[in-house]
A = this chain, B = another copy of it.
Amino acid sequence: MGKDRKIDVVILGLLAHENLTGYDIKKRIDGTIGFFWKGSFGSIYPSLGEMEKQGLVQKKSDGVSGGREKIIYHITREGRAYLRKWLNDEKAVNELKYETLLKLYFGGVEKSEVTLKNIEIFEEQVKENLAILRMYKENLEKVLDKADHKYYYLTVTFGIDTYEAYLKWCKKAREFLVDAEK
């Protein structure tokens, strides 16, 4: 019960690297991080509010006067300690929820063409994501001297390697199903 909310550490992790607004945080989450963690405004803003109360983050005065309010957050010493504690905690929940695999598992209900089609749709998704990740990788390779970038780079190579494995599997699976028909 309670306190499974990982959005807190995602925000803290981002703020450990640079000061950001809630809007900026959303953009970062929609980038590389989006491949292994999601977050919406409806979770980001309330989290920032609560963490401010707890002293994990602080608002920074905007500087720019006039115009719509813009709240830049920065991480506090307590926030950094909280983040480190989480990093050192050995338990980590890794969850995969693939509707495609569910459809594959129950493929026997339909003709094999339906499953073949579903595999092809999956392949297309994977190829698109792979192209994005390869672009990320190229860009990161230019800035690998920065410590944080080494870690970003590793998450990107993780994505590339697994997506490449997916594509190999797709080809095998299609062949397996076609052969089974004969």
Please give the residue numbers on chain A whose beta carbons come within 8 Å of chain B beta carbons, in ascending order: 6, 9-10, 13, 16-17, 32-33, 35-38, 80, 83-84, 86-88, 90, 92-110, 114-115, 117-118, 121-122, 125, 147-148, 150-152, 154-155, 157-158, 161-162, 164-166, 168-169, 172-173, 176-177, 180
Q: Is the Cβ of A87 less than 8 Å from the Cβ of B109?
A: yes
Q: Copy number of this protein in the oligomer? A: 2
Most chain B CB neighbours (cut-off 10 Å) among A102, A161, A173, A177: A102
Q: Is the Cβ of B150 less than 8 Å from the Cβ of A173?
A: no
Knowing A148-B108, A150-B180, A180-B150, say if A13 contacts B102 (CB, 8 Å): yes
How far does the alpha carbon of A99 sit from the alpha carbon of B9 in the complex, in Å? 10
